[in-house]
Structure 1
Amino acid sequence: MTYRELLRTPGAAAFFIPTAAGRVGIAMTSLSIVWLVRSATGSYATAGVVTGAFAVADALVGPQVGRLIDRFGQRRVLLPAALVHAVAVAALVLSAGYGAPGWVLAAAGALVGASLPQLSAAALARWSALLDGERKPALPTAYALESLSNSVAYLVGPALVSTIAAAGRPVLGTLSAAALVVAGGSMLALQRRTEPPVLARDGGHAHHRRALLRPGFMLLVGVNTTIGGFFGTMSIAVTAFALERGTPGLAAVLFAASNGAGLLAVVVYGQRRWHAEPRIQLAVAALALGLGSLPLLAGGSPAVVLAGVSAGVLLTAVAVPVVLVLGSTLADAVVDRGVLTEAFAWLGSASAAGGAVAATVAGLAVDGAGARGGLLVAVAAAGSTTALALTGLRALRPAERD
């Protein structure tokens, strides 16, 4: 099934479009907070603390929002979450405008993160419900489409908010991000036709949640954590590599090439029907990631090193999004439907946590051993992903639905 055919499925475009718009807002939010707080306080340190509070709250509370969605339904959770998010952003903007102390700004930033509607997790759960039965083989294509939408959002969102803020309107950038998030979340919630049924009510909820402790799902959490670690490390290591060479602009070129390769990989993967089981595909993609990262450690002349790093950036960029798509596909297979939204939210939080920890480790490695130290951490993260995927083939066999 092609992407066009997928979006012609009754009800699909109606929830995909608002989710895509909301994702752009989410992609804008973190950077918009940096611009807003830096403009209000003159301090990058305070901006970093507030942004960190936002990210930590999103990672910790996101799965709990997913849990509430599974228990009470998307409409009953997303609409209040969107309202709280609007209030939280207003509180942050007003606090910044009136010169509130840093701890107040951090608290407001945490509330902004905690109230983010879990649009990606909710959309993935809708695809799972919509493509059940004979249309199940199209599910990897749907998850690839969601990954493509997310990648585009993180290309467009930061560029948009930076343009607005650089024009001297940081408040407008923050409010624009919030408007997209609130509108996208509300419109998604109002699409009742494709809303997944609530299967985890009352006492049965605890029974369904035990599926989150299955070895297969725990392995997927580990894979997402190491993938997030690879992301977080590469942003530090590649930047350090470019600065060491005295060519700061090289980092932008490498990141642009990486994003382009990743987008192309998702498009190609989603458009094809693959005959191998998803767990086998995951093992192959993870192996490609591990092997593709090895050129990052190339030694020799500066030209050889540059060629190695460039090759490593491109090869891993092709593998990473495929691994993430397969993670969602396999989560759908090994987790009960009654906790599927929470499961998707946990995968997102695992990626964020892995990225945060690895970025810190990579920063220390770069300080101690230069860019090569950071690249070594990236290779270790990629190798960990490979090891988990290869050793977890048995655990990733599809489970019986409860």
Structure 2
Amino acid sequence: MPQPNSAPPLALALAPELLVLAPRYREPRHRAAPSPAPAPPRRGARETRGARGTLASYRRLFATPGARAFTAGNLVARLPMGMFSVSAVIMIAGEYGSYALAGAVTATGLAATALVAPFTARLVDRHGQARIAVPATVLAVLGSLALLLCVRHHAPAWTLFAAYAATATTPNTGGMSRARWAHLHRGDPAALHTANAFEQAVDELCFMVGPVLAAFLCAALFPEAGTLAGAVLLLTGVLVFAAQRATEPPVAPRTGTAGTPLRAPGMPALLVVFLATGAVFGSMEVVTLAYVDGPAAGALLALQAAGSCAAGLAYGSLAVPGGDARRRLLGCLAAMTALMALPLLSAAGTGSLLALGGSLLLAGMATAPTMVTGMTLVQRVTPAAQLNEGMTLAVTALLGGIAAGSAAGGWTVEHLGAATGYGVPVSAAALALALALAAGTGMTKARLP
């Protein structure tokens, strides 16, 4: 997909997903009974009630038996998701001298993923995570290695499309991790809220670290290093994750009437909201790359991801907010629409990169709470036996939105200017809000206790 100034199409590299270190200590299972004598000081004794909301929630989350083990494997597997597209662009453009070819190859992979990922997730729901994720990952890794060899030997262009399309079998590791949390904390909305926030923070960290790591490996070692490292990390992480059978959700018995999660009440409305939200991410990245047109663009995009990551962790440490989840989603979308206007004002006003960086940091703070609430709604409306498929459909909608947002942002920059391009993310956020409002009662069944 063409982008302004021949910038690599990084917006196609959604994936969602990188390394967050879990706290290394546990909250005591039993609290000491009140006593007139002061209790001996313990680690964390200085925590106030406010601090308890920021640390204790995550300590409780990872005190769950087996949680740290499956999280470690999943994090290793998710890191390459932010590396593959960037590595492919650098590798293909360097060998073939064409960003257009590189963009077309990665766009083909995105389209293939949108078609194959829900089917892979359906198999996971029917047969279990370990039985499907491992062979699906092996196929995807073979596709990455085939792409590497094709580029290395300057094979015909059509082989690049075929090889990269084969990577579409990569399982939705983030969705499988969320499914494990949903299984471990069923009936505990507070813990599930914290888990969803943690997973979203992982996604945001992937945006910051994955592309940077890929670019560094390709530049410091050899052009194929990013793809090779990503393939090794993906396979290793999935093998470790799949080995944690104690936390794997059991395969739910399927009834003869079970169909696609698309038919679940509220799911179509949620998917169109995710589609518009994805356009916010895709357009923001392309417009920023065009506006800055230099190495500082990566740092500014990292600021946006950092703001989202910090807001996600803080949001997850709170108790489950009051009211139903649909109204919370509306509030998050309204906040995102308002904050996305800040980069537009900065670019059209002062033009200062410092001001733009601050506005992107603030704008990013609205995205994680929106995604956390949206994914929570997806979990609520999706039947338990189809949870992986439902969450993968949400990710697929985001991918489609990112592609559309990238195209819209690129067209706007080319025809109306880079500063005006920041109006596209604002418009996409406003569209997501309008779609959620128009859904009306379509999501009212997705209430949290």
Q: TM-score, normalised by structure 1?
A: 0.90
Aligned length: 391
Alignment map for 1:1-400 (pairs within 5 Å): 2-112=57-167, 114-133=168-187, 135-199=188-252, 201=254, 203-206=256-259, 209=260, 211-243=261-293, 248=294, 251-276=297-322, 277-298=324-345, 302-303=349-350, 312-392=359-439, 394-398=441-445
CA distance 1:98–1:238, change in 2 (3 Å): closer
Q: Secondary structure at the match of 2:182?
A: helix
One-letter amino acid matched to 1:330:
L
One-letter amino acid matched to 1:61:
V
One-letter amino acid matched to 1:257:
L
Per-residue deviation, 1:35: 2.3
Per-residue deviation, 1:190: 2.0
Per-residue deviation, 1:253: 4.4
Output the CA distance in 1 between the equivalents of 2:298 and 2:172.
30
**Cα displacement string for residues 173-203 of structure 1 (whole angstroms, at most 9, x for unaligned residues):** 2111011111112222222111112225373
Per-residue deviation, 1:249: 5.4
- Check the 8 A contact 1:237/1:366 in 2, yes or no: yes
Output the CA distance in 2 between the equivalents of 1:300 and 1:127.
41
Per-residue deviation, 1:87: 1.8
**Cα displacement string for residues 107-129 of structure 1 (whole angstroms, at most 9, x for unaligned residues):** 101102x1212101111111111
One-letter amino acid matched to 2:138:
L
**Cα displacement string for residues 358-398 of structure 1 (whole angstroms, at most 9, x for unaligned residues):** 21112111111112432222211010122223344522233
Per-residue deviation, 1:301: 7.8
One-letter amino acid matched to 2:264:
R
**Cα displacement string for residues 236-292 of structure 1 (whole angstroms, at most 9, x for unaligned residues):** 22233335xxxx455344323212211110111011113313222211111111122
Per-residue deviation, 1:336: 0.7
Output the CA distance in 1 between the equivalents of 2:346 and 2:401.
28
Per-residue deviation, 1:315: 3.4
- Check the 8 A contact 1:295/1:308 in 2, yes or no: no
Output the CA distance in 1 between the equivalents of 2:274 and 2:328.
16
Alignment RMSD, CA only?
A: 2.3
Per-residue deviation, 1:295: 3.5
Q: TM-score, normalised by structure 2?
A: 0.81
Output the CA distance in 2 between the equivalents of 1:275 and 1:48.
41
Q: Secondary structure at the match of 2:397?
A: helix
- Check the 8 A contact 1:332/1:340 in 2, yes or no: yes
- Check the 8 A contact 2:341/2:423 in 1, yes or no: no
One-letter amino acid matched to 1:167:
A
More helix by share: 1
CA distance 1:251–1:33, change in 2 (3 Å): closer
CA distance 1:174–1:308, change in 2 (3 Å): closer
Ranges in structure 2 where 5+ consecutive residues have no aligned partner: 1-55
Output the CA distance in 2 between the equivalents of 1:299 and 1:155.
22
Output the CA distance in 2 between the equivalents of 1:250 and 1:41.
26
One-letter amino acid matched to 1:132:
R
Q: Secondary structure at the match of 1:170?
A: coil
- Check the 8 A contact 1:85/1:182 in 2, yes or no: no
One-letter amino acid matched to 1:234:
M
Identity of aligned residues (%): 33
One-letter amino acid matched to 1:313:
L
**Cα displacement string for residues 4-28 of structure 1 (whole angstroms, at most 9, x for unaligned residues):** 2201111211111111111111211
Output the CA distance in 2 between the equivalents of 1:382 and 1:317.
12
- Check the 8 A contact 2:381/2:446 in 1, yes or no: yes
Greater shift in the superposed pair: 3-12 or 308-317? 308-317
Output the CA distance in 2 between the equivalents of 1:188 and 1:307.
41
One-letter amino acid matched to 1:219:
A
Q: Secondary structure at the match of 1:394?
A: helix
Output the CA distance in 2 between the equivalents of 1:388 and 1:45.
33
CA distance 1:27–1:304, change in 2 (3 Å): closer
**Cα displacement string for residues 197-237 of structure 1 (whole angstroms, at most 9, x for unaligned residues):** 2225373432xx2x422341112111111111011111122
- Check the 8 A contact 2:147/2:160 in 1, yes or no: yes
Per-residue deviation, 1:67: 1.0
